[in-house]
Amino acid sequence: MPSLPPMTLLLIVTNAIAFLLQSMVGDDVIAPLALWPLGHDFQPWQVVTYAFLHGNFTHVLFNMFGVYMFGSDLERVWGSRRYLIYYMVCVLSAALAQLVVSAVTGAVYPTIGASGGVFGLLLAFGMTFPRRMIMPLFPPIPMRAPYFVAIYGLLELVLGVTGSQAGVAHFAHLGGMAGGYLMMKLGVRVRPPMR
């Protein structure tokens, strides 16, 4: 099995260290670094820092598993610099989507987690490796990557519109995918390896 490419490894290690620091310091570190809606608690740096905080071990574990699963191959194809730019654009577009949704709905709660960046990686994986098969945990049916991306994106939209899964920033996930799609179409020009 090939070793992790450097930027993927750095993202995973950085998120793990941030989670350990969170565990030691407690909620005091979350308040100024989480993404708050526009207003008194919002600070500009939060559009980046929120993506390195997580609510619990399962949250950080699944997000970093996504970075490993989808990011490793993308970094090998694109290179570390382009990969990091892409990931950070997805993080920023996820934050923007969450800020817009918060402003429209009047919700006043902080957002944390790397999911927006991970959803952007998922979209890029499906576009870059259209023939690659993915076996989701549920349902355990193998499917091509683009179908998996489409189903996951549609599920996020339904859950976001219906509000049936409280405490999850579904529109931030979709914002990460949207930013990733724009980058794939406008900024990240790579020849898909078709595998």
Structure tokens at 114: 């790397």
Q: What percent of the chain has pLDDT over 70?
A: 94
Residue pointed to by tokens 């049936």: 164
What's the number of domains the chain is made of? 1
The per-residue pLDDT for range 133-173, each reduced to its tens digit, is 998 777 788 999 999 999 989 999 999 888 777 778 999 99
Q: Is residue 11 part of a domain?
A: yes
Answer whether residue 152 is part of any domain. Answer: yes
- With respect to residue 30, please indicate whether it lies within any of the assigned structural domains: yes
Q: Residue 119 and residue 126: Cα distance in Å, rounded?
A: 11
166 inside domain = yes
CATH of the domain at 39: 1.20.1540.10
Tell me: the pLDDT tens digits for 162-183? 877 777 899 999 999 999 999 9
Residue 1 counted as domain residue = no
pLDDT at residue number 167: 78
Q: Which residue range(s) make up the domain with 134?
A: 6-187
- H helical segments located in 52-169: 57-66, 72-78, 80-105, 115-128, 145-162
pLDDT over 90 for what percent of the chain?
A: 76
pLDDT of 23 higher than 80: yes
> Does the residue 193 lie in any domain?
no
Residue predicted with more confidence, 121 or 139: 121
Q: What is the pTM of this model?
A: 0.92
Confidence of residue 99 (pLDDT cuts 50, 70, 90): very high
User: Which residue, among 143, 130, 119, has the nearest Cα to 195 in the 3D structure?
Assistant: 130
| Domain assignment present for 46 | yes
Q: What is the pLDDT of residue 188?
A: 58
Residue 21 lies in a domain: yes
Give the residue, 134 or 194, on which the prediction is more confident. 134
Q: In the prediction, which pLDDT does 139 show?
A: 75
